């Protein structure tokens, strides 16, 4: 027996595990100190009442032989896929139900999608970005090339004459930078991918934070995307499903090459390795799209956006350079006084007991930057901002 030695190529500790380790060590040494966490991108508000109602009712369905559900469809129940298709229609995107696959979250699908692509594809990933794209490719033995996302290009790299990629990851609104592509910018990527015969793996997990109509909510709003893109979406940040687990992936029938269709390959893959998302969870997710459910989740998103504003205003007062926070729940800031990311992390933890996420953990271009999340409670956000301001004022 031999293990997969590709694991030797990935950093031993996943970013948030390292953050957790350092926080745990600090807490052990200083049990009396109250730590305020604006680090990991987890939500804090409970599920919307409409979702809870649907979950309860689905549990009742399971108690009755007439409404009990066993194995569900691999690709998700039609009642949920229909709601998702209707939601896309609001943004001018027509989808067939068979183009929508319900999953237990975007992370699983982002990793698993690699099953349908051959090993020799050239992979291009923005730097910095959500670490899952890189690590899943490295585990599978693929080499990854990076495109620089910097303050100069607004953290939104664009294709140019040197771009040479078969699988392109785009994350918009971006984790960690909060930057989001305009429709015009995405059109350039779609044109590149169609010309090259490449695929764009488009992570739209933070789509619900977009408030500017020039920005794309879905890559399928862009003409030509249905022959070159796969979109990953999640109820985690939209509706607080981080612990409930539900997402969906859109694979258009138009994405094909040499007689192979991405949609069919994915269906086959899911049918082999996945037995669907719990009926109860899908019922809860479907409630997100009802009139009342939509109203409630928009209120939650507005709450997080207010937190983002509280953090952004603090950065303004401290004259600290930052981006994000308007179409995303993340504030991406330049570490003050030329500090490096982990240096600033330790400084904030030790001196103010505030936890953020070091930008360097998202890629080399993240060095010297730091991410704060708006997903905390309003109370914790306000307290953290107060402590940061006190610490950095002079």
Q: Which residues bind ligand PLP (CB under 6 A)?
A: 41, 105-107, 130, 171, 175, 203, 205, 234, 236, 242, 247
Token output for 6: 């590709």
DSSP annotation of 121 reads -
- Looking at the Cβ atoms of 352 and 355, the one nearer to ligand PLP is 355
Alpha carbon distance 334, 110 (integer Å): 29
- Residue 46, SS3? coil
Rounded (to 5) percent helix, strand, coil in the chain? 45, 15, 40
Residue 200 CB, nearest approach to ligand PLP (Å): 15
Q: How far apart are CA 171 and CA 129, in angstroms?
A: 8
| Cα 95 to Cα 90: distance, rounded to the nearest angstrom | 11
The H or E element that residue 65 is part of is none
d(CA 359, CA 15): 10
CB of 358 to ligand PLP, least distance (A): 16
Give CA–CA dist 86/264, Å, rounded.
23
Smallest distance from the beta carbon of 324 to ligand PLP, in angstroms? 13
To ligand PLP, the closest distance from the beta carbon of 205 in angstroms equals 4
Largest CA distance in the chain: 68
CB of 335 to ligand PLP, least distance (A): 21
If the CB atoms of residues 81 and 392 are measured against ligand PLP, the closer one turns out to be: 81
| 329 phi/psi in degrees, rounded to 5 | -85, 5
SS3 267: helix
DSSP β-bridge partners for residue 230:
201
List C-alpha distances in Å: 150 to 58, 156, 165, 170: 46, 8, 20, 15
| 363: three-class secondary structure by DSSP | coil
Cβ 180 vs Cβ 210: under 8 Å: yes
- Cα 352 to Cα 14: distance, rounded to the nearest angstrom: 24
User: How many DSSP H helices and E strands does the chain contain?
Assistant: 12, 15
Instruction: Single out the residue of 170, 162, 239, 172 nearest to residue 205, CA to CA.
Output: 172
């Amino acid at each position: 027996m031999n293990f997969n030695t590709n694991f030797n190529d990935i950093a031993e500790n996943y970013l948030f595990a390292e953050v957790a380790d350092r926080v745990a060590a600090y807490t052990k040494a200083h049990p009396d100190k109250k730590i305020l966490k604006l680090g990991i991108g987890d939500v804090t508000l409970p599920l919307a009442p409409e979702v809870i109602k649907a979950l309860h009712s689905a549990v009742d369905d399971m108690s009755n032989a007439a409404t009990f559900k066993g194995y569900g469809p691999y690709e998700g129940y039609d009642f949920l896929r229909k709601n998702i298709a209707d939601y896309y229609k609001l943004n001018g995107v027509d989808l067939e139900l068979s183009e929508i696959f319900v999953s237990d979250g975007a992370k699983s699908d982002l990793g698993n999608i690699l099953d349908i692509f051959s090993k020799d594809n050239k992979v291009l990933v923005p730097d910095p970005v959500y670490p899952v794209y890189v690590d899943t490719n490295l585990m599978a033995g693929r080499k990854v090339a990076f495109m620089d996302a910097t303050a100069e290009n607004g953290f939104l790299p664009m294709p140019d004459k040197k771009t040479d990629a078969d699988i392109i990851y785009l994350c918009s609104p971006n984790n960690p930078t909060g930057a989001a592509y305009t429709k015009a910018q995405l059109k350039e990527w779609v044109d590149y991918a169609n010309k090259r015969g490449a695929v764009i793996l488009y992570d739209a997990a933070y789509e619900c934070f977009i408030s500017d109509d020039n920005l794309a909510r879905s890559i399928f709003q862009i003409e030509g995307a249905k022959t070159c893109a796969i979109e990953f979406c999640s109820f985690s940040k939209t509706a607080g499903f981080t612990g409930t687990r539900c997402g969906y992936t859109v694979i258009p029938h138009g994405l094909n090459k040499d007689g192979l269709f991405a949609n069919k390959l994915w269906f086959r893959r899911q049918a082999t390795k996945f037995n669907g998302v719990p009926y109860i969870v899908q019922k809860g997710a479907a409630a997100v799209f009802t009139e009342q459910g939509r109203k409630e989740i928009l209120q939650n998103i507005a709450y997080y956006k207010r937190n983002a504003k509280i953090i952004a205003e603090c950065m303004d007062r401290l004259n600290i350079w930052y981006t994000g926070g308007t179409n995303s729940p993340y504030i991406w800031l330049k570490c003050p006084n030329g500090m490096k990311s982990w240096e600033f992390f330790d400084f904030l933890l030790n001196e103010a007991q505030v936890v953020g996420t070091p930008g360097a953990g998202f890629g080399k271009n993240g060095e010297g930057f730091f991410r704060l999340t708006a997903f905390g409670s309003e109370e914790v956000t306000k307290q953290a901002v107060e402590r940061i301001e006190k610490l950095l004022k002079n």
